[in-house]
Structure 1
C-alpha cells in the first residue's frame, strides 16, 4: 500500500491533545489525511497544528457538552467537511473509590464524556458516511468493558456501553459501506492515570511500576492497521494488553 494511505480522507480525532488522540492524529496526517483535532486545551491544539502544518484544523470543544457537538461540526470549514474517519477517543476515568463511596459528580462526568459524547459524535457523522457509502468509526473502549475490577464501577460500565454501541452500529450499518470497530486496550501509559488521580503523578507512576505498559504509539499503530485493511474487512473488536497484565482471580470474601 502507498504511504499516502489516507490521502483524500478527512478524519475527526477526539482527545487529540495527548495520548492516543495525539498519536493517531499524527499517523493519519502522515498518511495524507486532513485531520480535525478536537480537544479542550487550546494551547495544545495550536501546538499540534503548528507542528504538523497544513491539513490540520484545531477545534476546541468540550465534548461533555453534548448539544454543542453537532453545531461545531456543522461550522467546520469546507475543506474539513465530509468526515469519513471518526476516532472516537475522548474519555476518562475518575477515582478508584468503591461505588458506595464514589463521587456522583465523577460518575456524571464519566457518563457525559465516555457515553454521551461518543454517541453524539457517531450520530453526527453517520448520515454523511452512509450517504457517501463509505466511512470508518473507531471507538475507544477498554478491557474494563469485559473484566470488572474494584473501583472500576461506572468507568467499566461506560466502556461496556461503547463496546455494545459498536456492535449495534455494525448491525444497523450492514450494507452501507461504513465500518465500525471497538478497540479495547489494557494498561497504557498516557495521562489516563494522572487524570484518574487528580494530577498526582506519583500515584500515576506507581500504576506502571515494574512493568512495561502499552504506549500511545501501540494504539495508533493498531488504528492505522485497522483503517488500512481492504474494504471487505471489518474488525469488530480488538482487545490488547501488555504481556505483563492478565486477568485477576475471582474475589472471595471469607468469614
Structure 2
C-alpha cells in the first residue's frame, strides 16, 4: 500500500506547521500548502532532513482554479486538514468593514469548501478523513467577533452537513474546535499588527493552548481506527471555561 498522504492547508506557520510535523512523525507523507512559499519550503526541508516525506505546494485556497489544478496533481489523499483561516479585526457589527468579513468568509468557509470538494473523490477512493479546524467561536458568539464568529459558524456547518451527506460513504468528517491558542500570528493578525493588543489577549493566562497541543489533538483524531469518527472535539486550556470565562492571574 502506498504511504498515507495528508494534505494540510495553511501549513506555513502555527497550527498548520505543527500539524505537519506531528502527522509526518506519525508516518504520513505530508503535502504542505500555503501562500508563503519560503515558509513551506523551509518546513519541507526540515521534515525531509528528519527522514520524513514532505512536499510543499504554494496554494491560495480561495482560488478555485488553483485548488482544482492542485487536486488533479495528487495521486492519493488519505487525510485533508482544512486549517487555513484566521480573524481580522474586533470591530462591532455596527462598525465593521464588510471587506474584512468577506476576507474571513472566503478563507474560513469558501476555502474549506474548495479544498473539500476538489479532494473528496480521492478521499473517498482512499476511505479517508476530512478534518475541519473550526473554533469555539463557531459554537458561541461574543462581542467584537461578529465576522470571525460568522465565518467559523460557517466552517462548523460545513463539517456537520458533510457528515450527514456522506453517511454510508467511506469518509470520516471530523471537526476540531480549539479555544484560546497562543501562536505567533493569530492574535497579531487580528489586531492588525498591534503587538500590545495581541499580547493582552493572553495576559495572566498561565497556560493557553499551543499549536502543538492542537496538532496533537488533530493527529490523535486522525489516527483512530477507521470505524471511529470524532464528530466534534472542543479543546480549551484548563484556564478557559468558555469564550467569556477565562481565569487570569493578577
TM-score (norm 2): 0.91
Q: Which residue of 2 aligns with 1:182?
A: 175
Which residue among 123, 129, 132 is the counterpart of 1:136?
129
**Local SS of the residue matching 2:227:** coil
1:127 shift after superposition: 1.3
Tell whether 2:57 aligns with 1:59.
Answer: yes
Q: Which residue of 2 aligns with 1:105?
A: 99
Check the 8 A contact 2:8/2:81 in 1, yes or no.
Answer: yes
How many corresponding residue pairs?
A: 239
Give the alignment of 1:86-235 within 5 angstroms.
86-132=80-126, 134-190=127-183, 191-211=185-205, 212-235=207-230
**Local SS of the residue matching 2:94:** helix
* CA distance, structure 2, for counterparts of residue 46 and residue 143 of structure 1: 31
* CA distance, structure 1, for counterparts of residue 16 and residue 146 of structure 2: 24
**Local SS of the residue matching 2:226:** coil
Q: Which residue of 2 aligns with 1:73?
A: 71
Superposed CA RMSD in Å reads 1.6
1:68 shift after superposition: 2.0
- Offset from partner CA, 1:101-132 (integer Å, 9 cap, x none): 11111111101100101001110111122234
The 1:248–1:92 alpha-carbon spacing in structure 2 relative to 1, beyond 3 Å, is: closer
Check the 8 A contact 1:64/1:109 in 2, yes or no.
Answer: no
* CA distance, structure 2, for counterparts of residue 247 and residue 13 of structure 1: 28
1:66 shift after superposition: 2.9
1:248 shift after superposition: 6.2
* CA distance, structure 1, for counterparts of residue 10 and residue 136 of structure 2: 19
**Local SS of the residue matching 2:89:** coil
1:73 shift after superposition: 2.2
* CA distance, structure 2, for counterparts of residue 83 and residue 199 of structure 1: 36
Check the 8 A contact 1:66/1:116 in 2, yes or no.
Answer: no
Structure 1: gaps (5+ residues): 1-6, 250-255
1:136 shift after superposition: 0.7
* CA distance, structure 2, for counterparts of residue 237 and residue 164 of structure 1: 11
* CA distance, structure 2, for counterparts of residue 219 and residue 55 of structure 1: 22
Give the 4+ runs in structure 1 shifted more than 6 A: none
The 1:229–1:248 alpha-carbon spacing in structure 2 relative to 1, beyond 3 Å, is: closer
